[in-house]
Amino acid sequence: MVTNQCCSKCGSAAIVLNGRTAAGKQKYKCTACGCYRTLGATQSYSDEQKEMILRSYQERASLRGVHRVHGVAITTVLRWLKKKSRGSSHS
């Protein structure tokens, strides 16, 4: 068991090593809730980058085009769009 990490889903310290990603990062499995994660993800985008990527999508670029040009995953763009639409509907 890995003692210095906690599950980001349930907060349990019962985490075991569980292989590696294609990029070579360590994957973990929580024995308490059963989720698989890569802890300590290093990929992050600044607010300016997010706005630029979302603006290019809103200017009629396809999701595949945004992925190809900016190198961001399609699911990430969809998550940002969902979060942005939730934030604007409550304001």
Mean pLDDT per 10-residue segment, the chain (91 residues)? 72 88 86 83 82 92 92 92 80 49
**Three-class SS string for 39-84?**
CCCCCCCCHHHHHHHHHHHHCCCCHHHHHHHHCCCHHHHHHHHHHH
Output the pLDDT for position 68: 93
pLDDT at position 78 is: 93
pLDDT of residue 84: 85
Q: Which pLDDT belongs to residue 66? A: 92
